[in-house]
Amino acid sequence: MRKVLLIEDDTLLSWLLEKILKNSYDVTVMSDGLQAWSWLTSSNQIPDLIVSDLKMPSLGGIELLQYLSEHETLRGVPVIIHSGYEDTGRKKQCMDLGAWAYLVKPFEPEYLVNEVGRAIEARHRSLADRSATTLQ
């Protein structure tokens, strides 16, 4: 089962997002970006995708994207950022840092599930292509 790291500091929203995703994915939930970054860099587990809130107390989505883009092992992991604000500047910043998508809350659960599936599929296609090229 594909692994999704969910980073959300709002307990109720975290519960809801986990409930939406857990039927199709193995979901690990972290309540803040710093906790998630520590887990990502100290465990041997690399998620297939990260879903992260934009604004969190210790380490927000933009900072997380920056850290991921600089980390050799984690830079290819797709990230879906979600926010309560339609902010074109922040959206552009997230996309420039490599976010797969920027979702504005509230969004339809099916839309999230579809984006997660598309991002994971694209990631695994890319890894398979890279692997095939290396073998040639």
Each residue's pLDDT, cut to its tens digit, for the chain (136 residues) gives: 999 999 999 999 999 999 999 999 999 999 999 999 999 999 888 999 999 999 998 899 999 999 999 999 999 999 999 999 999 999 999 999 999 999 999 999 999 999 999 999 998 888 777 666 655 5
Query: Rounded CA gap, 30 and 84, in Å?
Result: 19
Q: Which two tokens stand for residue 134?
A: 């290396």
Listed by start position, the domains of the chain span 3-135
Distances (CA, A) of 5 to 47, 83, 134: 6, 17, 28
In DSSP notation, 26-70 reads: EEEEESSHHHHHHHHHHSS---SEEEEES--SSS-HHHHHHHHHH
Distances (CA, A) of 119 to 31, 36, 92, 123: 22, 20, 18, 6
Amino acid at 11: T
The CATH number of 3-135, from 3.10.129.10, 3.40.50.620, 3.40.50.2300, 3.40.50.10860, is 3.40.50.2300
Neighbour order of strands in the sheet with 26-30? 26-30, 3-7, 49-53, 79-83, 101-104
Estimate the share of the chain in helix, then strand, then coil, as percent rounded to the nearest 5: 50, 20, 35
Task: Tell me how far apart the 2 most distant CA atoms of the chain are, in Å.
Answer: 49
pLDDT of residue 5: 98
Stated pTM of the model: 0.93
pLDDT of residue 8: 97
